[in-house]
Amino acid sequence: MTSTTRIDEAVAARYGNRYLIEEAPSKHFPDVGMASVNAMRLVGQELFLDGDPQHNLATFVTTWMEPEAQRIIAENLHRNFIDHAEYPQTAEIEQRCIRMLADLFHAPGETTGARTQGSSEAIMLGALSLKWKWRERREAAGQPVDRPNLVFGGDVHVVWEKFCRYFDVEPRIVPLQEHKYTIGPEDVEPHVDENTIGVAAVLGTTFTGHMDDVRGINDLLVELDKEKGLHVPLHVDAASGGFVWPFLYPQSQWDFRLEQVRSINVSGHKFGLVYPGIGWLVFREKSDLAEDLVFYENYLGKTDATFTLNFSTGSAMVLAQYYNLIRLGREGYTYVMEIMQQNARALAEELKSIGTFELIGEDEEQLPLVAFKLAEQREYDEFDIAWQLSAERGWMVPAYTLPPDAQQVKVMRALVKETLSREMVDTLAADIAQACQTLEKKGGAHESERKRVKTATGY
Ligand SMILES: Cc1ncc(COP(=O)(O)O)c(C=O)c1O
């Protein structure tokens, strides 16, 4: 080390961060560390390059919680959720959340469920239970178990295809159509047979925020059971809709009020209004969970039953979920959902008045969001608008094509959350109109800009 460096080190230690003039460690395990304040500043500075979550209208996931909830989270980061023996009260709080959700979803009696990392883990576990239960039924009847299939629409989240690939199940995907972005019984029926482990229907699709015809699919499955002896359970993927429909559309039947609905997943970190890292799986009855999936272990002298893909994970989000459930109750969740819906409707009206856009399914039951597209062909498209809007004002409003066979349809979608006040809605609408004007003048985005447009739907 030269004397100059030694002086620099000493001066930097006194006045600032030596990484202001050095590359961040990135390739090798560092030989020596750095002062905690320097490490904190280094990490913090890099994150400025990420998108600002408040501008992110692509995500369904919570980007704001009350200070009191943040305090619970901060004070409980050191608690490992899976240590049921050491933290029995946290385990009890998980069970309370499951009972409250079962009640919200009209479970007929005592039931069971699990806290998960998000809807993806809940879906993997729920679908595994469908597979195990199907196998039990087939084996009991002396029938082959080598060709399980699962039926769902092209409007599902990609996690359903992931489940099929990881767990060796044939996906039977009902294609969408140019003017039909959800599925119903007539779409499902041709795909169901004795090897169908279940049907998955979505409440609040990732693409347009609508629901599959859950009631129609339920009626079909009830009929198939009665008339052909085909027992096919229905799982509802209510990742987003599970915390929206009970409050905005309480009369709409999609949950355990329908007899063939045997399990439901919901993301606590979406409209459950908790930060990322929490999902829920709820069964209609205890017997809907395949017993073989429950692991009983002797943990520190106590028998513990687990039904999860992970073991260690944080408790903080479970506690934060419970905080929200008791803080808001039905009245509070209804209030929050209604203000989001009202602001989504205001945004929809303002977009319509620009004259360039048409809305997608605004008269149907829908998540609090606006899904829209250009009403007619122009020199620019939805992807160009997403790019221009982000370049001019930093808004992240995604553009994407719908799944097959509606892949020619381009859509934009803005989530309207608690943090998007009416004032911000007006600003956003004006910014979208301005981005269109810029594109009119320049005749669309440049080819090099188009290459950089992000096309994911968001989570
Ligand atoms: C309908 C649906 N299912 C499942 C998922 C996956 O959920 P998570 O991100 O909570 O794992 C999403 C996420 O957007 C979704 O919208």
Q: What ligand 1 atom has the least distance to the C-alpha of 60?
A: 14
Q: What ligand 1 atom has the least distance to the C-alpha of 238?
A: 1
Distance in Å, CA 239 to ligand 1 centroid: 5
Q: What ligand 1 atom has the least distance to the C-alpha of 205?
A: 1
Q: Which of 163, 202, 235, 240 for mutating ligand 1's site (highest number of atoms within 8 Å of CB)?
A: 240
Structure tokens at 354: 């620009």
Distance in Å, CA 453 to ligand 1 centroid: 22
Q: Are strands 149-153 and 196-202 parallel, antiparallel or unpaired?
A: parallel
Characterise 102 by phi-psi region: left (phi > 0), alpha (psi -120 to 50), beta (else).
alpha
Residues 6+ apart with CB under 8 A from 165: none
Q: What ligand 1 atom has the least distance to the C-alpha of 458?
A: 14
Q: What ligand 1 atom has the least distance to the C-alpha of 156?
A: 1
pTM of the entire predicted model: 0.95
Q: Compute the distance between CA of residue 181 and CA of residue 457 in angstroms, rounded to an integer.
A: 15
Distance in Å, CA 346 to ligand 1 centroid: 26
Q: Compute the distance between CA of residue 273 and CA of residue 268 in angstroms, rounded to an integer.
A: 6
Distance in Å, CA 155 to ligand 1 centroid: 12
Residue of the nearest CA to atom 7 in ligand 1?
119
Q: Compute the distance between CA of residue 173 and CA of residue 191 in angstroms, rounded to an integer.
A: 9
Q: Compute the distance between CA of residue 167 and CA of residue 163 in angstroms, rounded to an integer.
A: 6
Residue of the nearest CA to atom 13 in ligand 1?
459
Q: What ligand 1 atom has the least distance to the C-alpha of 270?
A: 10
In this structure, the residues whose C-beta lies within 6 A of any atom of ligand 1 are: 60, 118-120, 157, 159, 202, 206, 237, 239-240, 267, 279, 459
269 and 279 Cβ atoms separated by less than 8 Å: yes
The single-letter code of the amino acid at 355 is G
For 73, phi and psi rounded to 5 degrees? Answer: -60, -50
Q: DSSP assignment of 199-263, as one string? A: EEEEBS-TTTS-B--HHHHHHHHHHHHHHH-----EEEE-TTGGGTHHHH-TT---STTSTTEEE
Characterise 169 by phi-psi region: left (phi > 0), alpha (psi -120 to 50), beta (else).
beta
Distance in Å, CA 87 to ligand 1 centroid: 29
Distance in Å, CA 234 to ligand 1 centroid: 18
For residue range 194-231, list pLDDT tens digits in order: 999 999 999 999 999 999 999 999 999 999 999 999 99
Distance in Å, CA 452 to ligand 1 centroid: 25
pLDDT tens across the length of the chain (459 residues): 444 455 577 787 787 777 778 889 999 999 999 888 889 999 998 898 888 898 999 999 999 999 999 999 999 999 999 888 889 999 999 999 999 999 999 999 999 999 999 999 999 999 999 999 999 999 999 999 999 999 999 999 999 999 999 999 999 999 999 999 999 999 999 999 999 999 999 999 999 999 999 999 999 999 999 999 999 999 999 999 999 999 999 999 999 999 999 999 999 999 999 999 999 999 999 999 999 999 887 766 667 778 889 899 999 999 999 999 999 999 999 999 999 999 999 999 999 999 999 999 999 999 999 999 999 999 999 999 999 999 999 999 999 999 999 999 999 999 999 999 999 999 999 999 999 999 999 988 888 887 777 777 777
361 and 211 Cβ atoms separated by less than 8 Å: no
Distance in Å, CA 74 to ligand 1 centroid: 25
Q: Compute the distance between CA of residue 237 and CA of residue 205 in angstroms, rounded to an integer.
A: 9
Q: Which of 62, 120, 202, 210 for mutating ligand 1's site (highest number of atoms within 8 Å of CB)?
A: 120
Instruction: Tell me the C-alpha to C-alpha distance, in Å, between residue 404 and each of 240, 414, 427.
Output: 22, 22, 34
Q: DSSP assignment of 408-430, as one string? A: T-EEEEEE--TTS-HHHHHHHHH
Distance in Å, CA 266 to ligand 1 centroid: 8
Q: Are strands 302-306 and 357-359 parallel, antiparallel or unpaired?
A: unpaired
